[in-house]
Amino acid sequence: MLDAVPLLRDVFGFDAFRPGQSEIVQAVADGENVLAIMPTGGGKSLCFQLPALMRDGVTVVISPLIALMRDQVRALQEAGVCAGALTSGNTPEETDAVFEALERGELKLLYMAPERLAAGSAEGLLRRAGVSLIAVDEAHCVSQWGHDFRPDYLRIGALRKTLGVPLAAFTATADAETQDEIVQKLFDGAAPRRFLHGFDRPNIHLAFGAKDGPRRQILDFAAARRGQSGIVYCGTRAKTESLARALNDADHSACYYHGGMQAEDRRLVETRFAREDGLIVVATVAFGMGIDKPDIRWVAHADLPKSIESYYQEIGRAGRDGAPAETLTLFGPEDIRLRRSQIDEGLAPPARRTADHARLNALLGLAEALACRRQVLLRYFGEDSGPCGNCDLCDTPPEVFDATTAVRKALSAILRTEEWFGSGHLIDILTGADTDKIRARQHDQLPTYGCGKEYDKRQWQAVFRQMMGHDLVRPDPERHGALRMTEAARPILRGEAEISLRRDTIRKANRHPAVKS
């Protein structure tokens, strides 16, 4: 069987799993029957797409949403995966292509609308196709009592039995009754392995800090936790070595760890860390896989992590024993610039680069959050929660100002241009810039043109970035990262709600250059 992590990186372009994904992927790939409950937006599709690539044979994906199926098939094909759909929306050519790929034994994922299962030929087709896994999206559609009931979903259980293959069911609906009904109807009552994840790790204290003498900041953080086991993540190998030296000079017990070391030396660090109390490992992201030390008391990032997923995974190594643990993540303009250029100069296709920028924006939104950081973090994974009382922003709320007018102007610029542009062009409109693009699109004729001259470009960037942190706008990967307004922004636009933003970010905006849409 193929390994999950290289596929995650090379095919999907993700640097880390989201919470819960890794365990589900492994169970599904191992051929277990699985029922996974994850919030919408939590990343369910990866949990069957990745196992489909790890396993031999074809994975049938049953989903009620034709548009969504077509999107997923297109995205998979763009990533070089042989995938196809049989839906009522197909052209005859598309259907032929699916059958040909099946014939050649090349198809890995076959998406099917449930209605298709009603056709007499479906079962024979799937049997001949060498189906080795059934994945059911929106599994709650099997529930007769829910409002999404799809009668054809009731055929899936029988299909599983005749094909004799494992089934993985996914839904965002968590209530016990619906779960029981899914187990009855899809698994014939035989208990699947269940995954129901809360993503929160409430014992981990979250904190971010703008870099301001980062070496000293890390030394201070470690000094306040002397004698406790901790990890410092760094962006480069060289930095792990120099920072470990600085910590040792300050009478800590520290060693470094990175992918450039001999396997033997790395193992030595791993064993020391597992056995010794109070060792600090200064490491690149190479350190982490397979570390299951329960009493890591703190994790610090000397540089901004790659994504929210990486951040969550890395801080998540602390406090596995459930006792309080602390984290500190430093970020500065150089991190942002570096990450941007890594994305821009990488070899990834344009669509993926756009998505990577969007993910980085989300991380920046977390870094510059206005109120409870954990709420922002959990919302990113689709989970709602109240203020946590265990993060730096709950501890010390930042100074804010009423930004309602500024945000309304920004939203209006987005809507007047029909949600087709990124923040760079929108800011040009707001500040009344004279560019080719503005002239070509006649955006200087818009009522919003030049209506935001009270802020300069960098200040507007800070406003847009914070708007993203508040989930008022979201970059749309389908539109090359163009910003689209979310439902959350509607009341502000209508004048029914007000919004505050962080003052420090606006005032210090010129210390955060190189932030672009």
Closest approach, Cβ 310 to Zn ion, in A, equals 20
Closest approach, Cβ 371 to Zn ion, in A, equals 8
Is residue 14 a contact residue for ligand ADP (CB under 6 A)? yes
Partner from ligand ADP, Zn ion, none binding residue 391, C-beta < 5-8 Å depending on class: Zn ion
Which two structure tokens, joined as six digits, stand for 10? 């090379």
Q: How far, in whole angstroms, is CA 504 from its chain's centroid?
A: 27
- Residue whose CB is less far from Zn ion, 306 or 373: 373
> How do beta strands 400-402 and 500-502 pair?
antiparallel
Q: Could you give the 3-state DSSP secondary structure of residue 449? A: coil
Could you tell me which of 152, 131, 180 has the C-alpha nearest to residue 64? 152
- Residue whose CB is less far from Zn ion, 64 or 324: 324
List C-alpha distances in Å: 449 to 62, 407, 426, 432, 466: 47, 15, 9, 5, 22
Number of residues that bind ligand ADP (CB under 6 A): 13
Closest approach, Cβ 514 to ligand ADP, in A, equals 23
| Calpha distance 10→254 (Å, rounded) | 33
Q: What is the DSSP letter of 206?
A: B
Is residue 309 a contact residue for ligand ADP (CB under 6 A)? yes
Partner from ligand ADP, Zn ion, none binding residue 309, C-beta < 5-8 Å depending on class: ligand ADP
Neighbours of 262 (CB within 10 A): 8
Q: Could you give the 3-state DSSP secondary structure of residue 428? A: helix
- Residue whose CB is less far from ligand ADP, 18 or 409: 18
Side chain identity at 426, as an amino acid letter?
A: L
Which two structure tokens, joined as six digits, stand for 512? 């955060």
Closest approach, Cβ 327 to Zn ion, in A, equals 12
CB 463 within 8 A of CB 455: yes
Partner from Zn ion, ligand ADP, none binding residue 43, C-beta < 5-8 Å depending on class: ligand ADP
Point out which span in 10-18, 53-61, 189-197, 345-353 binds ligand ADP (CB under 6 A). 10-18
Which two structure tokens, joined as six digits, stand for 92? 């005859």
> How do beta strands 473-476 and 482-485 pair?
antiparallel
CB 459 within 8 A of CB 431: no
Is residue 374 a contact residue for Zn ion (CB under 5 A)? yes
Is residue 76 a contact residue for ligand ADP (CB under 6 A)? no
Is residue 371 a contact residue for Zn ion (CB under 5 A)? no
Point out which span in 163-171, 183-191, 226-234, 384-392 binds Zn ion (CB under 5 A). 384-392
Closest approach, Cβ 343 to ligand ADP, in A, equals 13
Site for Zn ion in 402-421 (CB under 5 A): none
The residue written with tokens 């896994």 in the block is: 133
Q: Using CB under 6 A as the criterion, what x/- string covers residues 41-70 for binding ligand ADP?
A: xxxxxx------------------------
Q: How far, in whole angstroms, is CA 267 from its chain's centroid?
A: 30
Closest approach, Cβ 375 to Zn ion, in A, equals 7
Closest approach, Cβ 370 to Zn ion, in A, equals 11
> How do beta strands 325-331 and 204-205 pair?
parallel
| Calpha distance 212→333 (Å, rounded) | 11
Strand partners, 484: 474
Q: Using CB under 6 A as the criterion, what x/- string covers residues 259-298 for binding ligand ADP?
A: ----------------------------------------
Is residue 394 a contact residue for Zn ion (CB under 5 A)? yes
Q: What is the DSSP letter of 191?
A: P
Q: Using CB under 6 A as the criterion, what x/- string covers residues 317-346 for binding ligand ADP?
A: ------------------------------
Partner from ligand ADP, Zn ion, none binding residue 388, C-beta < 5-8 Å depending on class: Zn ion
Point out which span in 34-42, 84-92, 109-117, 394-402 binds ligand ADP (CB under 6 A). 34-42
CB 18 within 8 A of CB 312: yes
Binding residue for Zn ion (CB under 5 A) from 372, 410, 501, 515?
372
Q: Is the dihedral of CA 95, 99, 105, 111 positive or negative?
A: positive
Q: How far, in whole angstroms, is CA 459 from its chain's centroid?
A: 27
Q: Residue 403 region, left (φ>0) first, then alpha (ψ -120 to 50), else beta? A: alpha
Q: Could you give the 3-state DSSP secondary structure of residue 136? A: strand
Q: Using CB under 5 A as the criterion, what x/- string covers residues 318-357 for binding Zn ion?
A: ----------------------------------------
Which two structure tokens, joined as six digits, stand for 38? 């994850």
Point out which span in 17-25, 193-201, 227-235, 479-487 binds ligand ADP (CB under 6 A). 17-25
Interface ranges with Zn ion (CB under 5 A): 372, 374, 388, 391, 394
Interface ranges with ligand ADP (CB under 6 A): 14, 17-18, 21, 38, 40-46, 309
